[in-house]
Structure 1
Amino acid sequence: MTNSLIFFDFASDDPDKAGKFYAEVFGWEDDPRMGGLFHRMVPGGFFKNKDGSDSEIGNLHFGISDARNSRPHPDPEGVEPRTLATEGRKARVWILVSEDDTPERILETAEKLGATVLWRNHYWKEFNGFNWAFRDPWGNEIILWIKGGDNPQIPDNFTRE
């Protein structure tokens, strides 16, 4: 078996606020841990089989760590740096939009809560998907994704690559 991705986390200077942000934007469960120093976001559900039924593989969770003292670490007081990275590129996270939601609703909610919309209405032929993006209030970039399917119909107002 190869190495497997099991978890990732974002740094925030306010994990409580970030947990509430993601709960409202995506409808995920916000599971605060360690007195709010770390939040586990629980998307819930299972990855789908090709026929649309649930597989036995649960969706990945992600965490929100406190930039002032990211846990786990052998030193309980934490170490430098204790601030958010503000310059340059960061990792981007891709979210498959569920059939009962829309990119427009997600972007509107995220923007209302302090996010910045990076782009709307783009089609990426290489991976046959429609995408939209925002930067959360802590600088993390989120790409929203909808699968193009067989013979995708690309609206005229979408950019393409």
Structure 2
Amino acid sequence: MNSVANVRLASLTDAEELSRLNQEFNGGVKRSPAKIIEHLNINRNEWIAVAEISGRIVGFGCAQSLYSFCYDEPYGEITELYVEEAARRQGIAIALISCLEENLRKRGVRSMRVLTGRRNAAAIRTYEHCNYVKDDEQMLKRNLED
């Protein structure tokens, strides 16, 4: 495990750095720190973990707890995971995953899911290192603005 990075849940004061990292990761229009703060204040089913080195945030991960009347317990889903290139291969992604899992476990989550690109070999190796296994489900998607 990484002894240099401090991994913790995000706070409102992290909004500017989350905006920067999200832009690096997802591209597109940059999310304003004000929108990120608003989101942090209202979404009670999402956890955002950050990793910082020497006071600078170098990575983040997001996970949701999802509930359905069909199941007795909620399940968790890691929706985002990003570490700056210069900070990779130091155990930071694994520490972010662990932080998210621990916080979801406290909410009653007993099983986790993650979606990543089939060709994202580095991410797949990281998740497999954390004991995630491939299953036979297929993701389908549709844009509702069509």
Fold match (TM-score > 0.5): no
Normalised to the residue count of structure 1, the TM-score between the two structures is 0.27
Structure with the bigger percentage of strand? 1
TM-score by length of 2: 0.29
Greater CA radius of gyration, 1 or 2? 1
More helix by share: 2
